[in-house]
Amino acid sequence: MSLRLSRSIVGAAEAEAVRRVIEEDGYLGMGNETRRFEEELAAWLGVEPWQVITANTGTAALTLAVDSLFAHSLVPHRAGALPKILVPSLTFVASFQAIVAAGCLPVACDVLPETGTIDLRDAEKRLDGDVVAIMPVHYASNPWHLDEVYDFARRKGLRVIEDAAHAFGCRHHGKKIGSFGDLVCFSFDGIKNITSGEGGCLVAFDRECAQRAADARLLSVEGDTRSRYAGTRTWTPDIKRLGWRFHLSNIMAAVGRVQLARLKPEFIPARRALAAQYAEALDGLPHLRLLQSDPEDFIVPHILPVRVLDGRKDAFKEALAARDIPTGVHYKPNHLHTFFAAPGALPLPVCERLFDELVTLPLHPGLSREDVATVCDAAREALA
């Protein structure tokens, strides 16, 4: 098979789990498997089951997280003004769309050139009275300076929504991402560190937000999660607010449960070993720079972006493509999209420079050491 940028690593165990749901449970929607997936995620993270709210995509989890901020007016905001959320521009468009979907305004922030993570000094310049939260993105699975983000938020009176879509399985200074904080969102889409086909979850650290999100994923039918896990429904609810069909089905949860069990023995060591091999082979090459990380952090890399300097990015990508090596772009900065452009906003020079430099190399646990050596040889030649 040709070398792929990323892929799902699934097989007989996932197929058997789906078979079990179809042939033994007989109910494909949200039920027992979803409940068990939430319990197992909670156990893995070391949090209580009520704190984990699965959703049918990571984007849905982010939308629920933003929406949950307004549970019981936990976050006051000015009538008539859209609440604003600080977010790095260098992220998947999902972060921005989720903010808009939940009725807020994304404020694009610049990033640090060494890591691609949010630049808090830049973020501070964009603060005004309508900003209610900050959404750091663990770019390339790097929770860089997350403690500083929480300090900043505490000082400025902001809530924190971590877009941890890349960072399932990572640790910041010894603590698992999702085991502490405010609101933490993961993605289980087809190529993330674990997949449920499509899916995601929110981890909440206060009961109001957790309850609001659990209801909002089921059209804001209050308490319907409990009913479904008991095999029934809430038949005659009174709906008090906006809600969505964002719940995770038994089929997807069954796949996710198998993947969660494979994370520690298979996926974590494989991803880390391949990334270490890349780092060793590429470090110090001319015109190329690796992203930095904190040695105190434990990173399970979802993607492998590198910076190709001195205007050589396009030639580099073409040289790899000529050898059938696919490369990716993570990401087009969101302030450059028509929908999110904010005329008059402060410039975002680092995001734009990184957009001219970043090239994502193939990374997934199905790659062999030989595959990575092939990519690194091609990279070395392309830069010579």
Residue 150 to residue 182: CA distance in whole angstroms: 9
Residues in CB range of 290: below 8 A, 6 or more apart: 279, 282, 283, 306, 307
Residue 95 CB, shortest distance to ligand PLP, in Å, is: 5
Residue 117 CB, shortest distance to ligand PLP, in Å, is: 11
Q: Does residue 95 interact with ligand PLP by CB under 6 A?
A: yes
- Given candidates 30, 42, 104, 137, which one binds ligand PLP under the rule CB under 6 A? 137
Q: Nearer to ligand PLP by C-beta: 92 or 355? A: 92
Q: Which of 326, 327, 286 is nearest to 305 (CA)?
A: 327
Closest residue to ligand PLP using C-beta atoms: 58
Per-residue x/- marks for ligand PLP, 187-216, CB under 6 A? x-x----------x----------------
Residue 121 to residue 49: CA distance in whole angstroms: 36
Residue 189 DSSP one-character state: -
Q: Which of 171, 203, 209, 208 is nearest to 186 (CA)?
A: 203
Q: Which of 102, 100, 97, 106 is nearest to 165 (CA)?
A: 97
Residue 166 CB, shortest distance to ligand PLP, in Å, is: 6
Per CB under 6 A, the segment of 52-60, 268-276, 279-287, 336-344 that binds ligand PLP is 52-60
List, in sequence order, every beta strand (DSSP E) within 320-383: 358-361
- Given candidates 18, 65, 90, 94, which one binds ligand PLP under the rule CB under 6 A? 94
Verify whether residue 84 is a known catalytic residue.
Answer: no
Calculate ∠ Cα 73-76-78, nearest 5°.
130
Q: Nearer to ligand PLP by C-beta: 139 or 298? A: 139
Structure tokens at 36: 């068990």
Per-residue x/- marks for ligand PLP, 5-34, CB under 6 A? ------------------------------
Residues in CB range of 309: below 8 A, 6 or more apart: 287, 288, 289, 357
Catalytic residue chosen out of the listed positions 192, 240, 264, 317: 192
Residue 101 CB, shortest distance to ligand PLP, in Å, is: 11
Q: Does residue 165 interact with ligand PLP by CB under 6 A?
A: yes
Q: Does residue 162 interact with ligand PLP by CB under 6 A?
A: no
Helix (H, G, I), strand (E, B) or coil at 359: strand
Q: Which of 300, 250, 236 is nearest to 29 (CA)?
A: 250
Residue 165 CB, shortest distance to ligand PLP, in Å, is: 3
Helix (H, G, I), strand (E, B) or coil at 134: strand
Per CB under 6 A, the segment of 141-149, 163-171, 252-260, 284-292 that binds ligand PLP is 163-171
Per the CB < 8 A criterion, the answer to whether 201 and 52 are in contact is yes
Number of residues that bind ligand PLP (CB under 6 A): 14
Q: Nearer to ligand PLP by C-beta: 137 or 251? A: 137
Per-residue x/- marks for ligand PLP, 53-92, CB under 6 A? ----xxx-------------------------------xx
At position 236, the amino acid (one-letter code) is T
Structure tokens at 133: 């939260």
Residue 61 CB, shortest distance to ligand PLP, in Å, is: 8
Helix (H, G, I), strand (E, B) or coil at 383: helix
The binding site for ligand PLP (CB under 6 A) comprises: 57-59, 91-92, 94-95, 137, 163, 165-166, 187, 189, 200
Positions annotated as catalytic residues are 192
